[in-house]
A and B are shown apart, each in its own frame.
Chain A
Amino acid sequence: MFREEYDVVVVGMGPAGSSAARTCAEAGLSVLALEKRQEIGAPKRCGEGLGKNSLARMGVEFNPKWAMQEIEGATCYAPDGKYVRINYDGPEGWVIERKVFDKELAAIAARAGAFVVAKSEVQKVERTQDGKVEVTINYAGTHYTTKAKLIIACDGVETRIARMMGLNTKINLNDIAQGAQLEMANIDIDPKRIELYFGNEIAPGGYVWIFPKGNDVANVGIGIRHPYGDENRTAMDYLMEFINSRPELKKGSILEYNTGGVPVGGLLENMVADNLLVAGDAAHHVNPIHGGGIAEAYIGGRIAAETAIEAIKAGEFSAEFLSRYNKKWWDERGNKMKNVEKLRKVVEELKDDELNFLAEELHGEDLVELSRGNALKKLAKIMMKRPTLLRLAKKLL
């Protein structure tokens, strides 16, 4: 089934893995890409929102088969019901079907020459005397071993593979958002707009989202952060309270039930070890303010693969050689993400009346810029109008 050896074994075929596998295969490396699930992309742990901009940055073609709904705007609600509207001139993004999308990304990697295999759990990775890695795979109940010069760990939020190879990628409880989501049908929504609800009663340290997948179908989800909420209530409890408080949602049916963790902090300075590179959720590559990780994972996977290609060419698999990936990722993404993390730490401390105040002062364009790690100074200036916000405003500078 498997060859004796590959240049690269990619573990996990979410967006990060598909991107890493594709990039390596396009450069002519031999690539084995393993996914433990029997169906790539399912079940999802995702709100399935994807911006047009993000897709372009990923370098992936639009394909109508995964786009469920075009989105033309967003509305952000403060606790008192005041809102900020973000309007676009036309479609600015989509709510997608993750399992169709993820399979398409995997197919792109396969077409580039990677050997992609689902229902293949990587159970062990062990360095060998000859400076390579032995990989133990459980494919549909049968165990196989193969060897790799390099492992690219894209195993998502669980992030076990890197830890097996001595790189600590554990996520601190303070750096992970607790997510819960129901895909609902027969609800009343505006299919062209996504909605976000903020407030310490509704979603402590996070927000509720409604991402439409059609005229009356949407992902209704929540992300909260551990230190802020009532510790006797789970994310799903908070979500159910929100849904039950709104007749237009309460009457809906439940098509899918999901939970998830989103690594919204704890960016890693080091994402390599001997024979190992880590990307995607496994390396905490997520936008810390909104928790979007599809594009970040795909970009992270590509950057990791670029270093893998250089390493294979040079025949150098040491952490020292691979560490150029750290620099590349931090230059291209990390420093921006760090800014966004700073913003998140301020936003999650805001009290309800302060959120209401900001909803009056901020415009849609400001929110877009902020989510990209820009305009922090502008926000600080607005916050300084309120003496109680001075302390927090300073953290933005």
Chain B
Amino acid sequence: MISINRDKCARCGGCVSVCPVEALTLTEHGLVCDAKCINCGTCVKFCPAGALSLPEKGAGAKEE
């Protein structure tokens, strides 16, 4: 599952729209990722704020 840096996230919901398996939900408390995530990295590539990263090395994940 991806990790979400809530300090960086500006709650725009863009990542939600590109997730192919609907693993992301933008709630009033912030972005939530559920177990459906297949670690495809699409949301990571999209995020304009660099708030998302993949657990494994590489694949576009950003250093925190």
Contacts and interface: CB of A to CB of B under 8 A. Distances in A.
A227 B15 CA distance: 16
A199 interface: no
B49 A234 contact: yes
A235 B47 CA distance: 8
A159 B18 CA distance: 10
Q: Give the contact-size bracket for chain A.
A: 20 to 34
A230 B19 CA distance: 21
A157 B50 contact: no
From B19, B45, B49, name the one whose CB has the most chain A CB atoms within 10 angstroms.
Answer: B49
Given A231-B60, A257-B10, A178 B17 contact: no
Interface in A207-240: 226, 231-232, 234-237
Contacts of B3: none
A261 interface: yes
Contacts of B60: 231
Given A36-B28, A158-B26, A170 B49 contact: no
Contact of B18 (A119, A170, A257, A258): A170
Contacts of A232: 62
A36 B28 CA distance: 7
Interface residues of B, number: 25
B19 A170 contact: yes
Nearest to B16: A158
B48 A171 contact: no
Contacts of B17: 157-159, 170-171, 176, 261, 263
Given A119-B28, A158-B26, A159-B17, A173 B12 contact: no
Given A37-B28, A173-B45, A261 B20 contact: no
Contact of B11 (A38, A43, A160, A263): A43
A172 interface: yes
B14 A261 contact: yes
Interface in B11-64: 11-20, 22, 25-28, 42, 45-50, 60, 62
Question: How would you classify the secondary structure of chain B's contact residues: helix, strand, loop or mixed?
Answer: loop
A159 B28 CA distance: 16
B64 to A, nearest CB: 13
A156 B60 CA distance: 26
B18 A171 contact: yes
B18 A173 contact: yes
A155 B44 CA distance: 22
Contacts of B16: 157-160
Given A176-B17, A234-B47, A121 B22 contact: no
Given A36-B28, A179-B48, A236-B49, A259 B10 contact: yes
B14 A178 contact: yes
A386 B61 CA distance: 40
A159 B14 CA distance: 10
Nearest to B26: A158
A236 B62 CA distance: 14
A73 interface: no
A179 B15 CA distance: 12
Contacts of B48: 178-180, 234-236, 259-261
B28 A38 contact: yes
Interface string A40-53: 00010100000000
Contacts of A38: 28
A234 B61 CA distance: 12
B22 A160 contact: yes
A111 interface: no
B23 to A, nearest CB: 11
Contacts of A37: 28
Nearest to B43: A173
B46 A260 contact: no
A391 interface: no
A170 B20 CA distance: 7
B10 A258 contact: yes
A133 B47 CA distance: 33
A176 B19 contact: no
Interface of A: 36-38, 43, 45, 119, 121, 156-160, 163, 170-173, 176, 178-180, 226, 231-232, 234-237, 257-261, 263
6 contacts: A45-B13, A179-B48, A234-B47, A234-B50, A260-B14, A261-B46
